[in-house]
């Protein structure tokens, strides 16, 4: 997931000038006020009058990790159902009303949460909050078997496009199945399985909504051109009468270790073989999480990174290489994959990958490599919070920090995690989590060519 960002110096100047984000050499602060309604809905308000825009960002504390084996895919299915109309907003009117007001909206689902957002002119805030409150409090009367069947079909088609019919699309599902035991909540992909989606009944969906889509299992962020007192008045008006739901018991952290290396081969409709390595690491914000992000950057970010330089530029045996740390609420994993050029098999790639990991474990990265990674993360971070709304903007980050670390304004402390990483930290992380740990090695090869797979 890479995107172009403005030069760091330009971002620094833009953010320093903003009255809503105070940035200095010592501190980055995003002011907020928070209150909780009697029904348990937590509301976080960030005031920013730099432009006449407002963002509404609501997180329901439910994701695919809250599902049960045999009933996977519900969290993502519900993301779709939430746009299918509620008691006072007929199907299709949610988007029409927002578009007429000059606003837009979207949603997303992960293993750990489901979020919905609306961004628009500040005078559209009452409309945004009314629409969100109606689907929180009055969705059930409009939930029918026909609507569930329609969205079930949409999600199944999405799965076909993103998994079954996409090159290498089934790789992640295969990795998760081998990395985690069947009962672990990270064992299945967010989208769920075709079988489970087909088995979902209207009563299953109603029960899921009644358990998780409640005010006491949600956090609402209102950010932008709005005063906290006014935001509170509107939130109380539209959400205050929605009844509290049952208490939700979240799964505790569930770290897993592999007892041995696991090698597997998947024959797929692909032209070039690709090898995936996956290790258990640490969950989000745990010690070492930021260090593993830096490690991933050193390995594969940019043409001067360790693996790109060896595999793609010097040896020319791979077309690409990607590495990333994926820390969730319950556990974390580190993944690395590389695609072979025509005429090369995956054992060639794996030998170079292992050689570079061994070299990093023995000698560590240079100070310049770590500094480059830190600068990249800082620039990307500042680029995101320059925006109030959208995925990764200030409203979304306030919800993110509130959910994962218990305080909305964790911006400076998050940056500090990366600033503190040293070459010795990266060297230790390679040893502890990669070279001295077991992994899943999945080879995705063209159909009928298993001999191209990596072997122990």
What does the pLDDT look like over 354-407, one tens digit per residue? 999 999 999 999 999 999 999 999 999 988 888 999 989 999 999 999 999 999
Mean of the per-residue pLDDT values of the chain: 92
pLDDT in tens, 230-242: 999 999 999 999 9
What are the backbone dihedrals phi and psi of residue 380, each rounded to the nearest 5 degrees, phi first? Answer: -65, -40
Structure confidence at residue 200 (pLDDT): 87
Structure confidence at residue 26 (pLDDT): 52
Burial class (CB in 10 A: 0-12, 13-18, 19+), 28: buried
Q: What is the pTM of this model?
A: 0.91
Structure confidence at residue 419 (pLDDT): 96
Structure confidence at residue 25 (pLDDT): 40
Task: For residues 199-226, give the mean pLDDT.
Answer: 95
* Cβ atoms 452, 445 nearer than 8 A: yes
Structure confidence at residue 28 (pLDDT): 86
Structure confidence at residue 73 (pLDDT): 94
Query: Rounded distance, CA 151 to CA 78, Å?
Result: 9
Whether the pLDDT of residue 18 is over 50: the answer is no
pLDDT in tens, 396-442: 999 999 999 999 999 999 999 999 999 999 999 999 999 999 999 99
Of all residues in the chain, the percent with pLDDT exceeding 90 is 88
Q: 3-state class of 439 per DSSP? A: coil
* Cβ atoms 87, 142 nearer than 8 A: yes
Structure confidence at residue 13 (pLDDT): 33
Structure confidence at residue 97 (pLDDT): 97
Whether the pLDDT of residue 5 is over 80: the answer is no
pLDDT band at 14 (very low <50, low <70, confident <90, very high): very low
Whether the pLDDT of residue 77 is over 70: the answer is yes
Whether the pLDDT of residue 304 is over 90: the answer is yes
Domains of the chain: 31-239 (3.30.830.10), 262-452 (3.30.830.10)
Structure confidence at residue 385 (pLDDT): 87
- β-pairing, 218-224 vs 42-47, is parallel
Task: For residues 106-117, give the mean pLDDT.
Answer: 97
Whether the pLDDT of residue 3 is over 70: the answer is no
Query: Rounded distance, CA 333 to CA 342, Å?
Result: 29
pLDDT in tens, 116-174: 999 999 999 999 999 999 999 999 999 999 999 999 999 999 999 999 999 999 999 99
Where is average pLDDT lowest: 97-101, 324-328, 341-345, 381-385? 381-385
Of 236, 216, 212, 214, the C-alpha closest to 137 is 214
């Amino acid at each position: 997931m890479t995107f172009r960002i403005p030069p760091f110096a330009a971002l620094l100047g833009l953010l320093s000038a903003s009255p809503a984000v105070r940035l200095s050499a010592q501190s980055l602060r995003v002011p907020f006020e928070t209150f909780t309604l009697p029904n348990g809905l937590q509301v976080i308000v960030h005031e920013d009058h730099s432009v006449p825009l407002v963002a509404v960002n609501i997180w329901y504390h439910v994701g695919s990790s809250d599902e049960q084996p045999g009933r996977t895919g519900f969290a993502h299915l519900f993301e779709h159902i939430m746009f299918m109309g509620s008691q006072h907003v007929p199907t299709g009117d949610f988007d029409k009303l927002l578009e007429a007001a000059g606003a837009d909206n979207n949603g997303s689902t992960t293993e750990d949460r489901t979020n919905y957002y609306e961004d628009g002119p500040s005078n559209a805030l009452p409309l945004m909050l009314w629409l969100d409150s109606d689907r929180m409090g009055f969705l059930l009367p409009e939930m029918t078997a026909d609507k569930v069947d329609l969205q079930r079909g949409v999600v199944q088609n999405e799965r076909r496009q993103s998994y079954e019919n996409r090159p290498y699309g089934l790789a992640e599902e295969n990795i998760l199945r081998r990395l985690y035991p069947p009962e672990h909540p990270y064992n299945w992909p967010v989208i769920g399985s075709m079988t489970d989606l087909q088995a979902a009944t209207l009563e299953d969906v109603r029960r899921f909504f009644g358990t998780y889509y409640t005010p006491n299992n949600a956090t609402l962020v209102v950010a932008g051109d709005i005063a906290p007192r006014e935001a509170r008045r509107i939130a109380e008006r539209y959400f205050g009468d929605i009844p509290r739901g049952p208490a939700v018991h979240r799964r505790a952290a569930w770290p897993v270790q592999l007892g041995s290396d696991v090698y597997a081969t998947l024959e797929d409709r692909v032209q070039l073989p690709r090898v995936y390595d996956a290790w258990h690491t640490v969950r989000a914000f745990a010690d070492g999480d930021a260090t593993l992000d830096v490690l991933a950057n050193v390995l594969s970010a940019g043409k001067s990174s360790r693996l790109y330089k060896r595999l793609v530029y010097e040896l020319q045996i791979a077309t690409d290489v990607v590495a990333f740390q994926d820390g969730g609420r319950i556990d974390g994993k580190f993944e690395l994959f590389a695609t072979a050029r025509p005429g090369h098999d995956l054992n060639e790639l794996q030998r170079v990958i292992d050689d570079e990991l061994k070299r990093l474990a023995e000698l560590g990265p240079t100070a310049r490599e770590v500094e480059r990674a830190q600068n990249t993360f800082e620039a990307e971070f500042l680029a995101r919070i320059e925006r109030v709304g959208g995925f990764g903007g200030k409203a979304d980050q306030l919800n993110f920090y509130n959910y994962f670390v218990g305080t909305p304004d964790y911006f400076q402390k998050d940056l500090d995690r990366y600033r503190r990483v040293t070459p010795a930290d990266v060297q230790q992380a390679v040893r502890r989590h990669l070279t001295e740990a077991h992994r899943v090695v999945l080879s995705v090869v063209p159909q009928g060519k298993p001999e191209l797979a990596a072997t122990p």
